[in-house]
Structure 1
Amino acid sequence: MDQADIPALLARLASDEDTARKMAVFKLQTSINDPAFADVFISSGGLIILRRLIMSTGGNTLAYSLQSLSRLLEVDMGWDIFEGPTAGDLVERIVELIVTNPLVNILRGAMSILVALVSHSQSGPALSPAPPAAMASLQSADHALCANALMLINALIRDAVANDGGNSAAVAKGAVPVPGEEWSKFIKRLQDLGLIKAVYNLMQSSALQDLAHPLLEFQSLTKVLLRKWREGSRRHNPEKWRRLGFESESPAQEFDVSGFLGMMDLTDYVRKNEDGFQKLLLEQSARPLRERCPVARASLAVTMTLYQHFEVDKVELEDPKGYQLLGDIKNNDGLFRPLLLQWSRLHTAGLHAFFRIWKATMAELNDFEKTKDVLEVEDDLMEYDCGRLRELQMELLELSFEDNWGLHLQQVRDELKNEALQFVKEQRVRCLLEGSWFYRPTPKRSNVSEDQAMRRKGFTLTPWRFARLSHNKRFLHYADFADKVPIEPALDSLTEKVDLSTISSVVSNVSAPNDDARSATSISTAKTPPTKPTTKITVYSFTNPSEAGTSADGADEEKPILTLYPTTHSLASEWLDGLLMLLNQAPITAETNKLVYLVSEYGLKIRLLNVRFEAAYNGPPPGAGAIPSREGLDEDYYYEV
């Protein structure tokens, strides 16, 4: 919209017809954020008309009017509307809309105006009803409304902290706390309304990307409040402080580091765990003085541990650096730290961990710093994946071995791998010598009459096959059975056999085990095999053994002579690699290769440890195990191992 259209626009805004006003203010909200347009609009008396619309209209006309004023304030213009004798009425109207109006489009604009108003210098409207209304809006399903409500709360907190009771004019209007420590009461009122839980839920919701800026600002303000509480001070009752775990009856110096934040955490713990705290003090009072756990000092230590963990000192009130990584959604997990909002619960958990360590180690007062260090180390370890840390340690150990004994280690590894192959080959061959049951799938019958006819002719269903290697390892015997009998058949009862010297190749579709394969039962009482076994081992021989190897293209014709359907993946691995090893071929399944690797690696570790079988019977060398005398030594000594 051009500036020349402003007079006509103002005429329609002042019209008594609601439709004309609605269309005019709708067009106004799209153009008023242009500074040149806004300047002409203000100089033409547009603020008076806009104020009248906000005070008297409703529905979409009111929503468009609020949005127009919000966009005007965004370009830092139009603040004159809040000056003069009627400014209070306008602010009260906006606050009233937030408290009473249920329409989302009206609430968005009203909250945006209040955010700008509170953030503007020397603006202190009476906003007592605003926090409860903003808290209710945080539960809305509209993301924009949630963002505006949280921005309003952030502005109120920032204003309270920045003024700190020092702006008397603002105090008189009710925007900022009264002089002294009243700002803390304002923050406590927000917490009692459920602010922390509401923001914590927003951080865990799917609307994280839409609410990123106000959430990060609230997170920064939380750190500011924690730091401000730490820097605060309170009068202390100088009676019986030692019983609480302080070093003297005047513990003011012990709060120099943690400040009022340390006192707040301690009192919060006592208030929420009153019975447990009294019981703890009674238990400690029954102990000798040197064995008592310094509860208060432990609480202050946990407070500072959390303070350092969340790096509270590294944030400023208006620090914009936290918004730089918002573009990448992958950074959200590291950028947002919702546990910061659970400060009290973390402090309680850390203090209980301290008590457990103190009790488990039977510590004394002189061991306080050591126990605190152990607690800090535990907190550090919680940030690491112990399994991954162990893998890194072993990798570094292997690298150090490679640097010192690379050539020798390679020779030892090759030797141990050959030994492991022979060991695994013997194990696999033993499995073949013991024999195993296999499935033998039967073709599906299309109808019952065919099945009955074949049975009348003497045909017998044989769904099981048993195979076993002969003792001389030259023949593979097998036979088919109707049932899987508990006692394995003897070798002479297996009517069929395959000469291993005639085998040309062994082919299989053995793959990684799945859930079905794992659940396939190997219990000997099973009577009915699956109808569709998934794993198959096929043994081939040359069609013309005398002409094997004489083909011009090297592709001699083969034929299958035996097919086995293993019942489990492990059985398939044993028989497939066992047959291949009997034919002097390398194993191919992952299970067998893993077994070879484990045997060779354990052998290497035993070699490196220099463990010998006969050393267990020789006993320790002379003088081994004798502890030297400590006479003449101070506490700074060590044993050379």
Structure 2
Amino acid sequence: MDGVNVPELVERLSSDEESVRKMAVFKLQSVIGDPSFADVFIHEGGLPKLRFLALHSTGNTLAYCLTSLSRLLELDKGWDHVTDDLIRRIVELVVAQPLVNVNRGAMSVLAAIVGHPSHRNSQPGASGFQRLKPAIDSQPQFLPSLVEKIASADHALCANSLQLINALMRDAVANDASFEWPRFIKQLQELGVIKSVNGLMRSSAVHDLAHPLLEFQSLTKVLLRRWKEEVVDLESPDHRRAMRSLQQSSHPDKSVQDPQGSKRHNPSKWRRLGFNTESPAWEFEATGFLGLMDLTDFVYKNEDGFHKLLLEQTAQPQEERCPIACASLAVTSILYDHFEVDKSDDSESHRHNNLDTRSNFDKAFKPLLLHWSRLHTGGLSAFVRLWGAAGALVADFDKVEELIRILIEQVVGQAPRTKDIKEVEDDLAEFELQKLRELQMELLELTYEDAWGHHLRQVREELNHEALQFVKEQRIRCLLTGAWFPQTMAYSTDSGPITTKTLNKTVPNAWRFVRLSHNRRYLHYADFEEKSKTEPKLEALPEKIDLSIVSSVVSNVSASAPSTASSDNTLTTLPGHASTASTTTMITIHGYLPANSHARNRSDTSNSSGQRETALLRLHPQSHTLASEWLDGLLMLLNQQPITAETHKLVNLIGGYGLKIRLLNVRFEDLNMDEPVMPSREGLDEEYYYDIGGMEGGV
């Protein structure tokens, strides 16, 4: 206020010269926000002059005047000069005034009037939206003009427009004695406010308009909450009308012929729609009028499809029919929980004010919430689709509902801010049942992990150990059964190391059969000129290797998955074996022989005790599966860890299924068990003992 002569400034507001008035009100708008200045300004009689300028000035003078007035009202001062003629004038400006800066100020004043209903004393009994209603009724283009300005390129004008709409919505919902707020909200929706706000939320302008957009999002939750809290009452004309239209849209048989020839009403007209009883009003207890709105909207927008769906369900046996109405109410509840509609405005505002990263900023906006009806339709359609895909029965309703909850969380919850509603609808329609079940098991495991922590990890370790022992026995049993291997590497003692140049030095069409002895101590084998249809018995295999002298088992079998390029390269047909494809995959069993034993190849080495390590046996598996069975079987027989991808995959699969079976056998309520309370000695006046071993207590 320093340097400002208030009496002189007030006097200039009523000057005969337009330029003097403009400069005075221009300066006023920058200082009127100071409460001490505002008090002096009012004391000097500035309010009547400011009001006069608001009623009669034009151009920038009017813009500066409206800005000053709005800032004064924000200080909760000057309300006695906000008269009906001033409100009518400002409403007219919103509709007819093309200047952006005038529109900004006009909407700021109206937002202040709507947002402070307790100070409307010039018209007793009227407040907020009701105070503006006569002026709005006289200007049919007011609301269309207001909604249109949301799409303005000027972000300040856009923000002011949205703030005024927010104020009108909030006050209309809070003061609904005349039950006009639903019609007002519907009028805004029909004018396209949802489409405009959704476009802003998904655009880059969201940063400049964060406050009004988040407030609109919060108001959307307020509306949903009000509709949910509204009890469905068939005495209400609106509710009765909705139920009647719902029933008629299903095209029921209006009458049924009884054996006596008389006509009576269809006794299951509501159960036919998927309700549990013929008195469906009570079934909306959990969702209120919101559930009824969602169901009637689904039917109204897809009447032919709804009728076809009912006919399809009616053709099914009773226990296999999907209860459409119950499914609709379930989807409403799921969406309500997902968007945390019950969360208070204060907690949301606190969360939004503490956004520190772009990621968190984007997560604060939920443009999909504005498409509630389309999400409900997509969710209900997915419910019916998954019901059929799963072959569900009525008793499985809760299970399908849980799948839909996961689906909504996955598709809607993981959708980025910029994702279009049409893409979300497509995802809901195409998400596969099998993928949902996999997600369900992952979530179930994470839930128990959070609840039980180290207990679950211990169970997992035990199951993995059991799975490893199971697979070990399976692999060893493969060795006990025996297998044929093409014997194409019959080198003489001077053949040297195996290379691509010596690959042709093979004995064609020779086969070797190898089998583990029953006592698991010897590996028996023999060579045959051809592969017989029956497997040779152990007595027909004269050659054997004592496993106690085996030092190592090595192989060029890839440890990666069989589908990888590196693994595929190890399976190639050798010369002379087109029909009985051998491979370059090789398993070599090494062992120690006494020092005087004859070396089998030039790669033999000696150890400190005089024994020499040599290749005792070479095998050429014909497939990845056979290679995995024999390589890991031999390793595990020697108490070593398996190395192939197939064996590891099998161990993880068995252990995983074991864990899932145990999780499914545990009641979910067990997760919510409280910690046991340690009893105290309070109230005891005698010695007390407790015999744990004998389960006896006494004093």
Q: Deviation per CA, 1:616-635, whole angstroms, max 9, x where unpaired?
A: xxxxxxxxxxxxxxxxxxxx
Task: Tell me whether 1:276 sits opposite 2:305 in the alignment.
Answer: yes
Q: Name 1:293's counterpart in structure 2.
A: 322
Task: Indicate yes or no: 2:401 matched with 1:372.
Answer: yes
Q: Distance in 2 between matches of 1:309 and 1:107?
A: 38
CA distance in 2, matches of 1:322, 1:81: 38
Alignment of 1:128-527 (within 5 A): 128=137, 129=139, 130-165=142-177, 179-180=178-179, 182-232=180-230, 233-235=232-234, 236=240, 240-316=269-345, 320-326=349-355, 328-382=357-411, 471=501
Corresponding letter in the other structure for 1:96: E
The worse-fitting range, judged by mean Cα deviation, of 317-326 and 228-237 is: 317-326
Cross-structure match for 1:103: 99
Within the alignment, does 1:73 sit opposite 2:73 as a pair?
yes
Q: 2: distance between equivalents of 1:156 and 1:607?
A: 67
AA aligned to 1:247 is N
In the TM superposition, residue 397 of structure 1 has moved relative to its aligned partner by 9.7
Task: Work out the CA distance in 1 between the residues paired with 2:649 and 2:40.
Answer: 89
Q: Is the 8 A contact 1:101 1:107 kept in 2?
A: yes
- Aligned twin of 1:626: none
> Which digits, 9 at most, give the CA deviation of each residue in 1:310-356, with x for residues without a partner?
11111237963243234543322211111111111110110011111
C-alpha spacing 1:218/1:384, structure 2 compared with 1 (3 Å): closer
**1:195 alignment partner AA:** V
- SS across alignment from 2:54: helix
Q: Is the 8 A contact 1:12 1:21 kept in 2?
A: yes
Aligned counterparts of 2:462 and 2:321: Cα–Cα separation in 1: 51
- Closer/same/farther in 2, CA of residues 322 and 109 from structure 1, 3 Å limit: farther
CA separation of 1:373/1:610 partners in 2, compared to 1, >3 Å: closer, same or farther? closer
> Quick check: 1:203–1:338 contact (8 Å CA) kept in 2?
yes
CA distance in 2, matches of 1:234, 1:602: 68
- Using the TM superposition, give the Cα deviation of residue 402 of structure 1 relative to its aligned residue in structure 2, in angstroms: 12
CA distance in structure 2 between the aligned counterparts of 1:269 and 1:470, rounded to whole angstroms = 71
The corresponding residue for 2:475 is none
- Mapped to 2, the partners of 1:29 and 1:112 lie a distance apart of 13
Residue identity matched to 2:11: A
Give the letter for the 2:173 counterpart: V
* Cα shift at 1:246: 0.5
Per the TM alignment, residue 241 of structure 1 is displaced from its structure 2 partner at its CA by 1.3
Equivalent AA in structure 2 for residue 265 of structure 1: D
1:299/1:351 contact within 8 Å kept: yes
The two structures, once aligned, show a CA RMSD in angstroms of 3.6
Q: 1:56-111: CA deviations, max 9, x gaps?
A: 111111111011111111222111211xxxx1110000000001111110011111
> Structure 1 CA distance, aligned partners of 2:214 and 2:301?
29
Cα distance in 2 for partners of 1:190, 1:610 equals 60
Structure 1 counterpart of 2:198, which letter?
A: Y
Distance 1:14 1:399 in 2: 86
Quote how far apart the aligned CAs of 1:210 are.
1.1
Q: Distance in 2 between matches of 1:159 and 1:391?
A: 45
* Partner in structure 2 of residue 93 of structure 1: 89
> Secondary structure of 1:202's match?
helix
Matched with 1:125 is 132
Q: Aligned with 2:77: secondary structure?
A: coil
Counterpart for residue 542 of structure 1: none
Alpha-carbon separation, structure 2, partners of 1:379 and 1:61 = 53
**In structure 1, C-alpha distance between the alignment counterparts of 2:68 and 2:306, rounded to whole Å:** 57
- Which residue in the other structure is 1:449 paired with? none
CA separation of 1:399 and 1:60: change in aligned 2, threshold 3 A? farther
What SS is found at the alignment partner of 1:270?
A: helix
The 3 A distance-change label for structure 1 pair 317 and 133 is: farther
Q: Separation in 1 of the partners of 2:442 and 2:329?
A: 36
CA 1:608–1:361 in 2, change beyond 3 Å: closer, same or farther?
closer
**Alpha-carbon distance between aligned partners in 2 of 1:13 and 1:610, rounded to the nearest angstrom:** 88
Residue 197 of structure 1 aligns to a residue whose secondary structure is: helix
Aligned counterparts of 1:404 and 1:277: Cα–Cα separation in 2: 50
Partner Cα separation in structure 1 for residue 91 and residue 202 of structure 2:
29
Shift of residue 251 of structure 1?
A: 1.1
1:537 maps to: none
Q: How far, CA to CA, are the matches of 1:117 and 1:356 in structure 2?
A: 50
CA contact (8 A) 1:221 1:317 kept: no
Q: Given residue 136 of structure 1, which amino acid in structure 2 is its aligned partner?
A: E
- Separation in structure 1 between the aligned mates of residue 94 and residue 371 of structure 2, nearest angstrom: 29
Residues 260, 470 of structure 1: alpha-carbon distance in 2 compared, 3 angstrom cutoff:
closer
Aligned twin of 1:116:
112
Q: How far did 1:146 drift?
A: 0.7
**Structure 2 CA distance for aligned equivalents of residues 89 and 384 of structure 1:** 51
Shift of the alpha carbon at 1:245? Answer: 0.8
Identity %: 54
SS at 2:16 equivalent: coil
Structure 2 CA distance for aligned equivalents of residues 70 and 120 of structure 1: 12
Whether the 8 Å contact between 2:382 and 2:404 is mirrored in structure 1 is yes
**Which structure 2 residue ranges, 5 or more long, are not aligned?**
119-126, 235-239, 248-268, 416-434, 447-455, 473-498, 504-630, 633-640, 652-664, 667-699
- 1:354/1:375 contact within 8 Å kept: yes
Instruction: Report Cα offsets for 1:269-325 as digits up to 9, x if no partner.
Output: 111111101111222233333332211111000000111111111123796324323
Instruction: Output the CA distance in 2 between the equivalents of 1:401 and 1:281.
Output: 50
CA–CA distance in structure 1, aligned partners of residues 93 and 60 of structure 2: 14
Between the aligned partners of 1:403 and 1:291, the Cα distance in structure 2 is 37
Distance in 1 between residues matched to 2:36 and 2:356, nearest whole Å = 32
CA deviation vs aligned residue, 1:222-257 (integer Å, no higher than 9, x gap): 011011111113424587211211111101221100
Kept after mapping to 1: 8 A contact 2:338/2:409:
no
**Post-superposition shift, 1:52?**
1.0
Equivalents in 2 of 1:35, 1:160: separation in Å? 30
Letter in 1 for 2:217: Q
Question: Per-residue deviation at 1:3?
Answer: 7.7
Aligned residue for 1:454?
none
Tell me how far 1:374 sits from its aligned partner. Answer: 2.5
- 2:9 is the counterpart of 1:23: no
Kindly tell me: are residues 305 and 36 of structure 1, through their superposed partners in 2, closer, same or farther at Cα, counting changes over 3 Å?
same
Please give the secondary structure, in 1, of the residue aligned with 2:205: coil
